[in-house]
C-alpha cells in the first residue's frame, strides 16, 4: 500500500486522504495507475435500483449501470441496443411480448445468469408490495413462459413504452437465487449484478469503491478501480477537480466550468442532455387560481436566466418536452410578458403592493445554479405581484414529498427523460394517478388517460401534443430550460458525454 506524506495528506484533504488510502495510491497517480475517481453530485441512498425513491433519480443511474445491467441497453446517444436481452418485441396484434435472453453471462458471485432471473425480476417489479415506483408499467404484462432462451408473456394492457422502460429507470435485472436467499437487507449489505463493475467498499454519504468485473460480457472496463466520492456541494466538487483529488466531476457552476476547462492538465465538455429544469405546481391554494399560475409562468425571463446565470449553456422551454423528445412541438410558446402577468394578477386582486404569497422549494447544488435560478425567479415574481419564500431541501426529500403529494404550491425539480417518450415526461409529471405528479385534476387525467393505451403511434403522439398544448395554456406546470451538463476531467482522460446525463465510468477511458 502506498504511504502518503503529511504534505500530500493535507493537500488532499480528509475525505480525499481516506479515498487515497482506499485506492492504494496517491491522487496524482490515480487515473494513470488504473483508478478513476469521480467527484459525484449526489449520495447513494440504496443499492436496489428497482425500489424506493432513489430508483427514479436519473443521476444515480450512472452508479446503477456500473453494477447492474438493464434488460435493454442504451448508448450515450440514447439509441437502444442489446443488453441482457438481445432481441425483443410484440406479436402482430400486440397481445403478447417476446424476449431473447443473452447467453454466457455470469453474476458477480460466479453463478450463471438465466432467463429465470429476467422473469423473476419482471414479476417482482410488477408486484405493488415490492415498492417499484414504475410498478404500473411492469404490471402491463404477465404470465411469462421460458422456452430455451426465449421468454414470452401476455399483454394485460398495451403499454407503448414497455420495452423503452427496460432501458430506463428501474429497468434492471437482479439475481433471483441470490436475492431470494439473502433478502432485501442482505442485498443492501452485499449487492451483486452482472455489470462491468463489482461493489468493493461503501461508506454511506462518503464514497463507493468498485472493482472491474473481469468476466463482463461486454469486455473488461478501462479502469481496475472506480471510486465515486459523494460531494453534493458544488464548491467542494470544484475543489476536488482543481486540486487533482478527483479525476472527473460534473454539474459545477458554468463560470467554473469555463475557467477550469482552459486550465493546464484539465479539459471539459458541456453537451445538451435530456434533463429539464422545471417548477412543479400542485393543485393547492393559491395555485388553483389560473391567473396566478399563468402570471408565474409569464413573469420568468428564461433567456436572461440562461445568459446571466448559466453563461448561455441551456435552451429555454415552454413545455416538458425537449427538442430530442418524440412529442416536442416548437409552436407551443409561453411568452415572457411581465405586463400581462401584472394584469392577470390584478384580475385576481393582487399587485406588487398586495402580492399573492406562497413557498417554493428548491435544491441547492444538485444542478448548476439551481438555488440562484430560483432566487432570480423569485425576484422576477416580486416585480409583478408574487411574493415567494424559498425553502431549501435535499433531492431525497423532494422524492419523499412528491410521493406523498406534499410538495406544496411550487417546487423546483430536474426531470430526466432519457427515452424521450411523452409518457415519461409530461405523462408521469402531469397524470394524476402517477406517483410522480404534483398537479392532479380530472381535466388533465381525462386527456392523458386514453393515450397510455393507444396502439396507433401517430395518433398517440398527436394526442400527447394536444394535451401538452392544453397544459401550457392552463399553466399547470412551469417549464424552464433544457440543461447542458458540464463535465470537467483530467486531460489524460477521454470522456464520452451521455445525452441521458449519466456519467458512467464505462464512458471514461485513458486518452
Q: Is 86 inside a domain boundary?
A: yes
Q: What is the DSSP string of 81-143?
A: EESSEEEEEE-TTSSEEEEEEPSS-B-TTSPBP-HHHHHHHHHHHH-GGGT-TTHHHHTTEEE
Contact 399, 437 (CB under 8 A): no
Same structural domain, 335 and 478: yes
Same structural domain, 230 and 283: no
Cis peptide before 286 (omega within 30 of 0): yes
Q: Are strands 72-74 and 80-82 parallel, antiparallel or unpaired?
A: antiparallel
Q: Is 59 inside a domain boundary?
A: no
- 65: DSSP letter: H
What is the count of structural domains for the chain?
3
d(CA 396, CA 230): 14
d(CA 500, CA 483): 11
- 2: DSSP letter: P
Q: What is the pLDDT at residue 189?
A: 96
Same structural domain, 260 and 278: no
CA angle centred on 221, ends 220 and 224, rounded to 5°: 95
Q: What is the pLDDT at residue 362?
A: 97
Same structural domain, 191 and 230: yes
The model's pLDDT over 303-344, given as tens digits with 9 standing for 90+, comes to: 999 999 999 999 999 999 999 899 999 999 999 999 999 999
Same structural domain, 296 and 222: no
Q: What is the pLDDT at residue 31?
A: 52
Q: How far is CA 256 from CA 37, 93, 217, 311, 429, in A?
A: 19, 54, 38, 11, 32
Specify the DSSP element, H or E, that contains 225: strand 225-230
Same structural domain, 330 and 449: yes
Q: What is the pLDDT at residue 466?
A: 98
Q: Are strands 225-230 and 35-40 parallel, antiparallel or unpaired?
A: parallel
Same structural domain, 280 and 407: yes
Same structural domain, 118 and 222: no
pLDDT one digit per residue (tens) for the chain, 511 residues: 333 333 333 334 434 434 443 444 444 444 556 999 999 999 999 999 999 888 988 889 999 999 999 999 999 999 999 999 999 999 999 999 999 999 999 999 999 999 999 999 999 999 999 999 999 899 999 999 999 999 999 999 999 999 999 999 999 999 999 999 999 999 999 999 999 999 999 998 899 999 999 999 999 999 999 999 999 999 999 999 999 999 999 999 999 999 999 999 999 999 899 999 999 999 999 999 999 999 999 999 999 999 999 999 999 999 999 998 999 999 999 999 999 999 999 999 999 999 999 999 999 988 889 999 999 999 999 999 999 999 999 988 998 999 899 999 999 999 989 999 999 999 999 999 998 899 999 999 999 999 988 888 999 999 999 999 999 999 999 999 999 999 999 999 999 999 999 999 999 999 8
Closest alpha carbon to 113 in 101, 129, 125, 130 = 101
User: What cell was used for 372?
Assistant: 440562484
- 109: DSSP letter: T
Domain at 75, CATH number = 3.90.76.10
Contact 370, 364 (CB under 8 A): yes
Domain at 195, CATH number = 3.40.190.10
DSSP 3-state assignment of 348? Answer: coil
DSSP 3-state assignment of 257? Answer: helix
d(CA 481, CA 321): 10
Q: What is the pTM of this model?
A: 0.81
Q: Is 53 inside a domain boundary?
A: no
Same structural domain, 370 and 501: no
Torsion of CA 21, 27, 31, 35, to 10 degrees: 10
Q: Is 300 inside a domain boundary?
A: yes
Q: Is 223 inside a domain boundary?
A: yes
Q: What is the pLDDT at residue 291?
A: 98
- 313: DSSP letter: -
d(CA 375, CA 59): 24
Same structural domain, 227 and 347: no
Q: What is the pLDDT at residue 28?
A: 40
Helices (H) then strands (E): counts for the chain: 18, 19
User: What cell was used for 253?
Assistant: 457552476
DSSP 3-state assignment of 351? Answer: coil
Same structural domain, 454 and 354: yes
Cβ-Cβ contacts under 8 Å for 70 (sequence gap 6 or more) = 83, 84, 166, 167, 171, 172, 173
Its domain, for residue 92, covers 67-176
Amino acid at each position: 500500500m502506498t504511504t502518503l506524506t503529511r504534505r500530500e495528506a493535507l493537500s488532499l484533504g480528509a475525505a480525499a486522504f481516506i479515498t487515497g488510502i482506499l485506492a492504494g495510491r496517491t491522487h496524482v497517480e490515480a487515473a494513470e495507475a488504473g483508478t478513476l475517481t469521480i467527484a459525484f453530485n449526489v449520495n447513494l441512498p440504496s443499492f436496489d435500483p428497482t425500489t424506493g425513491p432513489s430508483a427514479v433519480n436519473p443521476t444515480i443511474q450512472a452508479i446503477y449501470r456500473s453494477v447492474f445491467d438493464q434488460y435493454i441497453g442504451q448508448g450515450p446517444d440514447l439509441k437502444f441496443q442489446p443488453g441482457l436481452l438481445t432481441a425483443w418485441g410484440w406479436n402482430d396484434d400486440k397481445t403478447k411480448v417476446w424476449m431473447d435472453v443473452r447467453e454466457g453471462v455470469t453474476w458477480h458471485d460466479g453463478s450463471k445468469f438465466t432467463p429465470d432471473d429476467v422473469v423473476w425480476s419482471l414479476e417482482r417489479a410488477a408486484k405493488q408490495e415490492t415498492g417499484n415506483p414504475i410498478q404500473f408499467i411492469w404490471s402491463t404484462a404477465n404470465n411469462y413462459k421460458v422456452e430455451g432462451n426465449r421468454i414470452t408473456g401476455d399483454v394485460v394492457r398495451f403499454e407503448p413504452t414497455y420495452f423503452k422502460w427496460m432501458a430506463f429507470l428501474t429497468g434492471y435485472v437482479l439475481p433471483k437465487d441470490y436475492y431470494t436467499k439473502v433478502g432485501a437487507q442482505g442485498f443492501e449489505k452485499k449487492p451483486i449484478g452482472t455489470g462491468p463493475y463489482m461493489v468493493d467498499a461503501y461508506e454511506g454519504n462518503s464514497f463507493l469503491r468498485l472493482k472491474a468485473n473481469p468476466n463482463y460480457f461486454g469486455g473488461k472496463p478501462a479502469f481496475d478501480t472506480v471510486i465515486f466520492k459523494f460531494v453534493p456541494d458544488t464548491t467542494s466538487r470544484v475543489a476536488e477537480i482543481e486540486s487533482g483529488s478527483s479525476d472527473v466531476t460534473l454539474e459545477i457552476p458554468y463560470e467554473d466550468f469555463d475557467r477550469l476547462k482552459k486550465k493546464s492538465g484539465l479539459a471539459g465538455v458541456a453537451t445538451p442532455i435530456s434533463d429539464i429544469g422545471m417548477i412543479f405546481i400542485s393543485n393547492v391554494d393559491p395555485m388553483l387560481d389560473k391567473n396566478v399560475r399563468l402570471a408565474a409562468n409569464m413573469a420568468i425571463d428564461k433567456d436572461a436566466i440562461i445568459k446571466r446565470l448559466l453563461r448561455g449553456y441551456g435552451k429555454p422551454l415552454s413545455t416538458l418536452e425537449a427538442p430530442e423528445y418524440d412529442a416536442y412541438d416548437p409552436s407551443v410558446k409561453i411568452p415572457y410578458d411581465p405586463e400581462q402577468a401584472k394584469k392577470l394578477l390584478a384580475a385576481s386582486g393582487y399587485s406588487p403592493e398586495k402580492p399573492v404569497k406562497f413557498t417554493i422549494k428548491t435544491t441547492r447544488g444538485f444542478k448548476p445554479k439551481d438555488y440562484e435560478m430560483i432566487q432570480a425567479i423569485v425576484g422576477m415574481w416580486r416585480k409583478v405581484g408574487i411574493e415567494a419564500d424559498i425553502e431549501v431541501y435535499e433531492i431525497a426529500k423532494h422524492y419523499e414529498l412528491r410521493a406523498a403529494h406534499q410538495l406544496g404550491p411550487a417546487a423546483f425539480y430536474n426531470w430526466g427523460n432519457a427515452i424521450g417518450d411523452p409518457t415519461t415526461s409530461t405523462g408521469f409529471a402531469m397524470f394524476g394517478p402517477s406517483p410522480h405528479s404534483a398537479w392532479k385534476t380530472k381535466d388533465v387525467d381525462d386527456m392523458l388517460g386514453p393515450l397510455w393505451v393507444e396502439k396507433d403511434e401517430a395518433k398517440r403522439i398527436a394526442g400527447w401534443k394536444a394535451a401538452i398544448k392544453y397544459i401550457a395554456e392552463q399553466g399547470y406546470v412551469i417549464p424552464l430550460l433544457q440543461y447542458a451538463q458540464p463535465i470537467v476531467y483530467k486531460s489524460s482522460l477521454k470522456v464520452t458525454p451521455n445525452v441521458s446525463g449519466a456519467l458512467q465510468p464505462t464512458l471514461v477511458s485513458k486518452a
